[in-house]
Structure 1
Amino acid sequence: MKGDLVTAPSGEVIELADIGLSRLLDDEIVRIWDVSLAPGECHPWHLHHNPYVVLSLQGSDGRMDWLDGSPPRYLSEYRGGAVYRPISPVHRLTNIGEHFYRNRLIELKDLGEHRKEPLDIGNGGRSTRGAVLGPPTADGRVAVLVHEHVSIWTVEIPASMHRELNLKAVPHVLSWIDLLDDSGVSVHQGGSLKVSNPAAHPRTLFVLELSYLEPVR
């Protein structure tokens, strides 16, 4: 967590940063962060205690470095893409691309800090640009990433219009791609939902279903 001290293999003592730049929402189920990096900018060393989802609002190329000296991991995130990730060793993220990068990072507390030990989710999942995961749902949602723990869609709301979303009776996180302050994220407890777009242009919404919270039958 922010302020914790860790020691690098070189012996250097490092103070960890927050998981994101600003905390947008925090309740019993999720903690949502904004992560924004200009080209060349780095988000400092930090540590995830919860499995988490990343919803990409603006894409760029990135490099993830590990404090333990493991080889870096190279990323290419794109607008409308998503990632489901396990907890991981201390790392930092650098925007090595030419474009501004921004995401919404959602920590899933019931898979991490609410348990004695975080759930081992394996490799999680990652969306693929251009992949077709099936036809749109009847209410217009297009699948981005489907995993047994989470399902993620995008849905476009036309200008000055609304859509009726028919969602499962489990909590959902909603995040507008083009609303960049904390008004752009919310949690819906499940079931039907009317989503309005008062703008004079179409807007796209991420819909993240927390499938792992579905009651066991």
Structure 2
Amino acid sequence: PKKRTTPHKSNPGFPKWLCASLLILFLLLAISFFIAFIIFFQKYSQLHEEKNTTKEPIHTTLECEKKNLTMAEKVWSCCPKNWKSFNSKCYFIATESKSWHESEKKCSRMEAHLLVIDTKDEQDFIIQNLDKRSAYFVGLSDPEGQRDWQWVDQTPFNKSATFWRQGEPSDRNERCVVLNAYYSSWGWNDIRCDTPQRSVCEMTKIYL
């Protein structure tokens, strides 16, 4: 008699392994999408908050004066409260001491920048409002230590309109500039940027 052949049974473990792998893969994808959604939501919330913050005015109180530009045109020129007014600029004199970079960041948060001195008249006005016992960072620095001085607002550095003290600048490691008084005579001095000093912020007047 012929031998009875039994049908070959497929390996029952293969489909189970495949199903388990697919289930694990699906769970990993679900977790990845969930994490990505959380990160996206946090970034969106942060951007939305920053956008709403920028809409709010930085300076809510202004001190203004009316000036005649022409016979037919009159405008109000304004500075934030507690800022000093001179020509077309406003100046804020900081009393706390910070590094040069921290001082510039603080000015930037007030929609300003560290002081840029263009003329002797401007410097003479500023020093009338400063404490002779302190030094004040201005917006002049030498980032690479190559004596390539640069103003923070990209104003070209004019060597003929500088007010260095005698013998200054003196050290390539001193890459930031302060305005200070020495024997009642004000001038520029290069110092290390991380040395905490007071500072002066500057912004263009607001016209209404």
TM range (shorter): under 0.3
**Bigger relative contact order, structure 1 or 2, given CA contacts below 8 A and separation 6+?**
2
Q: Report the TM-score when normalising by structure 1.
A: 0.23
More strand by share: 1
Structure with the largest fraction of helix: 2
Q: Name the larger-Rg structure.
A: 2
TM-score, reference length from structure 2: 0.24
